[in-house]
Structure 1
Amino acid sequence: MREHMIAQKYEVELLKRQSYVKREAGEKLRKYLNTDLIKVITGPRRAGKSFLAVRTLKENFGYVNFDDEVLAKADDLNEVLKLAHEVYGDFRTIFLDEIQNVRSWELFVNRLGRLGYNVIITGSNSKLLSSELATHLTGRYIEVKVFPFSFGEFLRANNIEPKVETSFQEGKVLSKLSEYLERGGFPEVVVKGYDYRDYGRMLFDSIIMKDVVKRKNVKYSSSLYELALYLVSNFAREFSYTRLKNALDVGSVHTVKNYVDYLEEAFIILKAERFSYKVRESLKSPRKIYVVDPAFLSAGFVPSPDLGRKMENAVAVELVRRGYRLYYWRDERGEVDFVLRKGLNVEELIQVTKEITKNNYRREVKNLVEVGKRLRAEKLTVITWDEEGSIREGGRDVRVVPLWKWLIEATTKSGLMGGYATLK
């Protein structure tokens, strides 16, 4: 174990010397870094969780990566802590990477907190972390979600500030947006130039086997894999568990539901619920599926998905990144892509379409206004490819905003886009 920990220390030193793209999640981590709350960084594999933590921590810290087969099998975590002090010396901050690989990790983390350590942990399984933390660390932790690069971070990685004052500049930003929707935001694809198709396929397979099949002891792994491919291929579309069972002949409806939950917990897919004030009705309705990163779509699983679906997927991921739970609206009169809740109130309705035309005006705008009145939504928004303005319809103002501008709004408000080269 000592040799493995020394090797990890060397890897950490290499990370500290690598170029770093400033992450939006880093602002939240820094805010709580010196508190006694346990910092929990969750997100997909290879999204940059470890890199974010290493580059945010300034003082001396101990580091243990439990994605190491030797350290993950340690019978005595006290021995791991002792070795960490032997390798790193005196420290009060400890960073435990991929902690979910260790049995009874939550008890160890809880005890470290009681002993006065400043604890940062990462994990690639959302439910495992949240359920255990809720049980053992109620009110004593803060969660920071790290997804692959947002579009703002993608531009930052390419040293581009979206300062659009001419049509040429707007064209450059739209070109980068097309690239982002195709290649995705995994840091190794964006920064190191890895082929996104090969990378997406490799990562997809790795997550399925390591974070789902192995951890959940899935007996019929081929059925799970087939289900995962089917869901990814049908992103931004509705599904029901019964329909999935009949289409794929995968065990029972209960098994299908479990498999879908496993894929969501492992950060391959995101689920959106149909919005209803009646909980029972919402639970019985079909869901919609989105994919955490376009690399999974471009890895040979989805043959040339249309631009509208890719735009909708990007909006879904960004909403989750901003802390929203995903809801959509559908009734006999039409659909609204996203319903944003704030407590019991509907904060905003969002429709996503490539463009607004005479043929789709009823579906994209009028229906949005009608649903907005019923749900008493504060804001109505239509996200398009490159159209911008305001529409007055049915006594309500509807904001029309280009996707690129909507995607970077949170970034520009936080000031993270400053200090980078402008488009030329």
Structure 2
Amino acid sequence: MPMDRRIIEAYLAEFKERRLPELVERSLKVEITKDAIISIIGPRRTGKTYYLFQLISRFGKDESLYLNFEDPELYDITSRDIKEIVNIHKEVFGRRPRFLFFDEIQNIPEWDKAVRSLYELKDFHIFLTGSSSKLLSKEIATSLRGRTISYTLLPFSFKRFLDIQKIGVEGPVSFSKEATIKNMLRQYISHGGFPQVVLNPRKEYVERFLKEYLDLVMYRDVIERYKIKNLHVIRLMVNSLLASYSKEFSIHRFYRTLKSQNVVVSKKTLYNYFAYFEDALLIFPLRKHSHSRKSSYASMPKIYLVDASLALGRDSDERGRKIENLVALELIRRRSYLEPLTEICYYKSPSGREVDFVITDRSGVRQLIQVCHDIEDVRTKERELEGLITASRKLECRDLLVITWDYEALEDYK
């Protein structure tokens, strides 16, 4: 079906006339260059569209072409039409746009061919967003190899959350301010960092948002995208993943649990489902550290959620697990924003001693991080520190950090 030019012209004109919404500036800083395509990958509802609006506001609408491929007006667009729309912009507005913004580009089959064609003209700054890590990365790894710089946009960090609440943390902090920050951290742990939730923290809205978010990811990004028929198993896996955050997740164990409940499904199918949720950026699996990449990839993953507010569970260590989830997201965020060559794993010795995060770069293991909500109990402190020291000796790393709720000290441990 050919593209309807009248609809496209109206779409472009409407965007030019529309007033951009009030924007909260994000911490992510991207390269502004014609020498690379900038791709911004992120979970749904984390503000990718608003981040593009932030850039458009900076460059000016007159210089920008914005297409959101989830808008109904663009449902029938093909990859061949994209280049023609750029020409329509020049015809209607008298100039070619300097900045091209393609939102949720993965919805267009063979989108990479159109983007590569525009990139090779060297006339445009090109920005892409997508909610699917693998659909974007597959094309980036093939026809767009060496032509892109990729970033991951996550929910608001706690620092940005405090900025929005107009609570500064620079310089000395009084006891009163420390209590305020801890109270805000409790709220952040409970409600999460999704922009819509941070800007509208009413309990009823938060609960509705989180439920609808899970339904959206499960149905649109997994069930519809991969044409899944076994909805019962998908729901069971979602619940299991949400209850297993900050822990190792064994697909084999999950398979045996289903088998004991007379649920018939193959182990291969469960591995596929797990990959689909990773692709939808609902979960971020971290692998066990190993000098062998093959061995690391084959290890049992520890999983972290895109936002700790989605977690299920009411056990006694819930706050500790949520804090660990927050630390994992902050490390992933810093890797994307600042340190793309960094790798994040966990450590587990043959005797079972663990370290939550092993940070490596090209020079080797750079830092070991342990997360413990309450370290005042002597046995808990011994257990956490022994795991850290064991890993320190094995991995030859002396930069050791324990993150707690409110205990701070510099200690020698022998």
TM tier, shorter chain?
0.7 to 0.9
Match of 2:378 among 341, 351, 358: 358
State the alpha-carbon separation in 1 of the partners of residues 44 and 15 from structure 2. Answer: 17
Is the counterpart of residue 176 in structure 1 residue 184 in structure 2?
Answer: yes
User: Would you say the 8 A contact 1:240–1:285 is kept in 2?
Assistant: no
**CA–CA distance in 2 between the matches of 1:282 and 1:354?**
27
Question: 2:343·2:361 contact (CA, 8 Å) conserved in 1?
Answer: no
Give the number of equivalent residue pairs: 386
Structure 1 counterpart of 2:330: 318
Deviations, residues 152-200 of structure 1 (Å, cap 9, x unaligned): 1111111221245211111111111111111011111111346222111
* Bigger Cα displacement from structure 2, 67-76 vs 100-109: 67-76
Question: 1:293-346: per-residue Cα shift (whole Å, max 9, x none)?
Answer: 12322xxx4446711000000011111111144311112141111111112611
Tell me, what secondary structure is at the counterpart of 2:303?
strand
Asked if 1:387 is matched to 2:387, the reply is no
Residues 160 and 36 of structure 1: CA distance in aligned 2, closer, same or farther (over 3 Å): same
Indicate if the aligned counterparts of 2:353 and 2:390 stay in contact, CA closer than 8 A: no
Deviation (angstroms), 1:282: 2.6
Q: Distance in 1 between matches of 2:223 and 2:93?
A: 35
Mapped contact 1:346–1:375 kept (Cα < 8 A): yes
Equivalent residue for 1:51? 50
- Structure 1 vs Structure 2: percent identity of aligned residues? 33
Please state how far the C-alpha of 1:220 moved relative to its aligned partner: 2.0
CA apart distance, 1:139: 1.0
Q: Displacement, 1:53?
A: 1.7
Contact 1:43 1:147 in 2 (8 A): yes
Distance 1:12 1:338 in 2: 46
- Tell me by how many angstroms 1:261 deviates: 1.1
The aligned counterpart of 1:224 is 234
1:259 counterpart (262, 268, 273): 273
Distance in 1 separating the partners of 2:404 and 2:176:
19
Q: Summarize the alignment of residues 84-123 of structure 1 with structure 2, pairs less than 5 Å apart.
A: 84-85=89-90, 89-90=94-95, 91-115=97-121, 116-123=123-130
Summarize the alignment of residues 7-406 of structure 1 with structure 2, pairs less than 5 Å apart.
10=14, 16-18=20-22, 20-25=23-28, 27=29, 29=30, 32-57=31-56, 58-59=59-60, 60-75=63-78, 76-77=80-81, 78-85=83-90, 89-90=94-95, 91-115=97-121, 116-163=123-170, 164-193=172-201, 195-248=205-258, 249=263, 251-297=265-311, 301-303=312-314, 306-323=318-335, 324-331=342-349, 332-343=351-362, 345-356=364-375, 357-394=377-414
Q: Is the 8 A contact 2:7 2:73 kept in 1?
A: no
**How many Å separate the matches in 1 of 2:45 and 2:147?**
27
User: Does the aligned pair in 2 maintain the 1:234–1:289 contact within 8 Å?
Assistant: yes
C-alpha displacement of 1:12: 7.2
The equivalent of 2:339 in structure 1 is: none
> What amino acid is the match of 2:323?
M
Query: Shift in Å at residue 13 of structure 1?
Result: 6.0
TM-score (norm 1): 0.85
Give distance in 2, aligned partners of 1:348 and 1:9: 52
SS in 2 for 1:16: coil
Displacement of 1:147 in angstroms is 0.5
Counterpart contact for 2:347–2:356, Cα < 8 Å: yes
Which protein, 1 or 2, shows the higher relative CO under an 8 Å CA cutoff with sep ≥ 6? Answer: 1
Q: Gaps spanning 5+ residues in structure 1: where?
A: 395-424
Give me the whole-angstrom Cα distance separating, in 1, the residues matched to 2:320 and 2:264. 30
| Structure 2 CA distance for aligned equivalents of residues 383 and 121 of structure 1 | 36
Q: Secondary structure at the match of 2:412?
A: strand
2:370 partner letter: Q
Superposed CA deviations along residues 76-97 of structure 1, whole A, max 9, x for unmatched, are: 4244434444565521211010
Structure 1 residues 238-274: Cα deviation after superposition (integer angstroms, max 9, x where no partner): 1222112222346222211111111111110110111
The answer for the alignment partner of 1:411 in structure 2 is none
Contact 1:346 1:378 in 2 (8 A): no
TM-score for both structures, normalised by structure 2:
0.87
Distance (Å, rounded) in 2 between the aligned partners of 1:366 and 1:5: 65
Offset at residue 216 of structure 1 (A): 1.9
For the residue of structure 1 that corresponds to 2:387, the secondary structure is: helix
Cα distance in 1 between the residues matched to 2:295 and 2:191: 37
Distance 2:94 2:236 in 1: 48
Alpha-carbon shift at residue 391 of structure 1 (Å): 1.2
Which letter maps to 2:38? K
Aligned letter for 1:97?
A: D
- Render the CA deviation track for 1:34-84: whole Å, top value 9, x for unaligned: 332111011011111111122123132011100124413224424443444
SS in 1 for 2:221: helix
Question: How many Å separate the matches in 1 of 2:112 and 2:264?
Answer: 34
What 5-or-longer segments of structure 2 have no aligned partner? 336-341
Q: Aligned with 1:33: secondary structure?
A: coil
Cα distance in 2 for residues equivalent to 1:128 and 1:251: 26
Q: Distance in 1 between matches of 2:406 and 2:16?
A: 42
| Cα separation, 2, equivalents of 1:140 and 1:54 | 23
